[in-house]
Amino acid sequence: MERALDWDDGAVVAVDQTALPAELRFLRLTTVDQVVDAIRRLVVRGAPVVGITGALGVALSARHHADPGGRVDEDAVRRDAQRIADSRPTAVNLRWAVDRVLTRLPDGPDAVLVEALAVLTDDEQANRTAARRAADVLRSECPDRPLRVLTHCNTGTLATMGGGTALGAVRALARDGRLEEVIATETRPLLQGARLTVWELQQDGLPHRLCVDSAAPAAMAAGLVDAVVVGADRIAANGDTANKIGTYALACAAAHNRIPFVVVAPHSTVDPATPGGAGIPIEERDAAEVVRLAGTDTTVPGTRAFNPAFDVTPAELITAIVTEQGVWRPSAR
- pLDDT digits over 258-303, tens only? 999 999 999 999 999 999 999 999 999 999 999 998 789 999 999 9
Residue 1's pLDDT is: 60
Same domain, 108 and 148: no
Q: Is the pLDDT of residue 257 over 70?
A: yes
Range of the domain at 28: 5-123
Q: How would residue 91 be classed by pLDDT, with cut points 50, 70 and 90? A: confident
Same domain, 235 and 321: yes
Same domain, 195 and 74: no
Residue 333's pLDDT is: 55
- Single residue among 100, 123, 146 that ends a domain in this structure: 123
Residue 70's pLDDT is: 80
Based on the residue annotation, tell me whether 16 is a catalytic residue of this protein.
no
- pLDDT digits over 30-58, tens only? 999 999 999 999 999 999 999 999 999 99
Number of domains in the chain: 2
- Single residue among 123, 156, 187 that ends a domain in this structure: 123
Q: Where are the alpha helices (DSSP H) in the chain?
A: 32-40, 47-64, 74-86, 92-102, 109-141, 166-175, 192, 198-204, 216-221, 247-256, 288-291
Distance CA 65, CA 74 (A): 8
Same domain, 96 and 195: no
Write the CATH number for 228. Answer: 3.40.50.10470
- pLDDT digits over 236-246, tens only? 999 999 999 99
Residue 294's pLDDT is: 78
- Single residue among 123, 154, 186 that ends a domain in this structure: 123
Select which of 213, 233, 271, 311 is catalytic.
Answer: 233
- pLDDT digits over 120-160, tens only? 999 999 999 999 999 999 999 999 899 999 999 999 999 99
Write the CATH number for 16. Answer: 1.20.120.420
61-85 mean pLDDT? 93
The answer to whether 214 touches 246, Cβ cutoff 8 Å, is no
